[in-house]
Structure 1
Amino acid sequence: MNCPKCSTPLENTYRCPNCQCEDPIMKRIIYASNQHYNEGLSKAKVRDLSGAVTSLQMSLKYNKRNTKARNLLGLVYFQMGETVEALSEWVISVHFQGKNNVAKNYIKKVQENQGQLQVINSTIQNYNLALQYLDEGNSDLAIIELKKVVNLNPNYIRAYQLLGLLYIQRKQYSAAKKILSRALKLDRNNLTTVRYMNELVGYSRQKRKNRDIERHKASYVQIKDPNPIVIEKSANNYTDFNTSTLSFVNILIGIIIGAAVVGLLLVPSIQKTKTAEYNKAIVEYSGEISDRNKQIALLQNQIDELTNENNKLANDADTSGNAADTSHNEILLIQAVKSYLDNDFVSAGTTLSEVDRNILSDQDAQTVYDFLLAKTKDTVIGQLYDEAYQYYGSKDYMNAVTMFKKVLNLDSDSVESWYYMGRSYQYLTDFEQARNCYRTIVDNYGDSEYASDAQQYLTQIENRKTESE
């Protein structure tokens, strides 16, 4: 909108910067936008993320240049696992306000974290693959892919909802309740999640109701006899027994006597036969167990012999490797001395950076190393560092690590080399080596300008390790 008096464009303000005139319509629009932004902020603080999205979107409908609302909407999307939506909002925010915009930092942090970008990529691919499996009617593979998604991105609410819905469809109500409960912890008032949870409650109530009905029916089962026996009282004490009743009693007595005969004659014979078979089986199993024990003992002896032989070979290999390393170190030291005598200090220092002083064979060699280091260190270290940083800047992190190691061989107190070598290891996803580099900076160089960044990246690596466990 433009100022009604001087036609100056009004951008995210209702007071003209030129004539100080207030536009009442623009004022109402900005107030409404800020009101919805405050509502979205309040909802986000209590983890009502879907409600916060609705309020913030309404705020942007009133004022698309409301940078705070757009940045907060990006953060809410990021918390919901919608990283692409979050980046879109932050890019639009930077477009409207290029200076002093915190969205630039959000975008930079996401882009610099290569591991997180790979996780985002894998999350999207696995979620789309799960949707494809559902289109093909293969819900088992879809569940497997969705489990991968929630493991990669524990904040991806849509994956929780779809996984819970599939569990409900398969009548795995306890698993569905567990998954949907995790989604509610992320977004407590999400309408879709709440609706699915209400469905689960309905299923549970119906199941409990059916169980109560069956139990109630079982307690009132009545047997209806189509031919009831009616006993009438006679005028005298004489009772006339029915012939059919006497026959039934005789048959019953005969069955009882026959069962007794069978029990007395056949049962002992059957028990004796079973006992003999049981004893025979015990003897056979004992023989088999004895043979297996002999085989196990023989194999264990072979394993022990092979283990001893392997340890011996490993010790020989270590000894040979150490000897080879020592010999190679001495060759490099001789080359450095030759270059120094030829007044080629650069080549001497470069060669010396590849020598490991700790494994030199004797004190004389270490003395020569210290002498050459003192003479060539100042000449070479800057050149090696510049070359290492060029590799780092061109994202050739393998060569960058190699060159930074050479710098640290010459100057172990080069904090910059420790820091950029740690960053290179982190980009190579060698988190253990990266953590060692950052830990060295934090423990030994806590007052340097790199200490705070090293602590931040160290915390990221340890949080990642905790989540994977």
Structure 2
Amino acid sequence: MNCPKCGTPLENTYRCPKCQFEEPTLKRIIMASNYHYNQGLSKAKIRDLSGAITSLQMSLKYNKHNTGARNLLGLVYFQMGETVSALGEWIISVHFQSRGNIAKNYIKKVQNNPGQLQVINNTIQNYNMALRYLEEGNGDLAIIELKKVVNLNPNYIRAYQLLGLLYIQHKQYAAARKILGRALKLDRNNITTVRYMNELMGYTHQRRKSREVEQQKAGLVQIKDPNPIVIERTAASYNDFNTSTLSFVNILIGIIIGAAVVGLLAVPSIKKTKASEYNAAVVEYSGQISERNKQIATLQNQLDTLTNENDKMKNNMDSVDSLADSGENEERLIQAMKAYLDNDFVTAGTVLADVNKSLLDGQDAQSVYEFLLSKTKDTVENQIYEQAHIYYDDKDYMNAVTYFNKVLNLNPDSAEAWYYMGRSYQSLTDFEEARNCYRTIIEHYGDSEYVDEAQSYLDQIQDQTSAGQTAESES
């Protein structure tokens, strides 16, 4: 935004550095952003990381250029174990403020520590593996992977929450209380952690009540019958046996009892031992199979994770490049406007030729571009076109492409510029870009004198590409 009095650009301030005018609306916006930043800083100091994230995100909604709030948001993410999110905030912060930004130091500390990058990578892989096991219904294996995650990254709150939830599901309430307690120490007001802890308290309270009921049942005393039934015993009559006969009978009875004991105790024990050995062998082979399946799943998961990370990095780089191109376009537009106000129409038109209209953000910027284009197009278009042809005739095709592109920024309907830019790309063996230029002429400028030649060169590129593919297949 520019100062409404003198037109000086206001960068993250509501007071003009030149005329000291204070823009009231911008002042309210910046003060609201600073208020939420201070709230987030206070919450971060008392370990209320979730609340700090909410306040800092609100601060950035008011003022996306508040690099202090964005840097602090990255630090909070990093403290919660969300390293990827932290790097994303710091990269955006450096884009908005490239000089004197402490976020550069944060990024370098992460990038210059290969060990920490490996830990981050292993943490993501193990956490994704735990999620994969949960989708397959293997809760025990998921617990093992989550234990690895919290050992690698003791600040990863998501892993603590998921591990505590699994412990509750397996009725390991003491372990769940311990894990969720660690998560609360890291983020004392995390809504998810507090909800899990309340659920755990409800389970333990119900378990305590059932245990008290069982103890009350065990303490009951059986009431004795006041009129018991008494069975009278008659006096037994004994006969005298021969002592030797009695001894023989006793020995025989002992042998029979011993054989019975062996049959009842030893044989089942032997069968149990054999069954135990068989079960142990089955468990061992099952473990080996499970370990191999786990290794296969781990390798597949690593491949998927690396593919996803590569896509994310490409998207982040594309977004950063897009932001950088948008910022450069705005700077060029401002330079062109300054040159026009100084009555330097040639410089204004030359700078405007480097502006890509599609990257301009906002209706105001589009309107300024259209105004400057209408005022400077006729002045500089022919000069830039002549310079492009000079480069083309000198076979300096790189600069020729650059200047023909400037011509198209000023006049997108120049079929001649499209044709010669395609010829330049073809000379540079960039057949894909050359093909795009020729197709633009054929599809949009069918009445142009360059249509037949564009079609001829397009067929020539197609023949060259087909011949190259045939030679590669034969080799």
TM-score, normalised to structure 2, is 0.47
Q: TM-score, normalised by structure 1?
A: 0.48
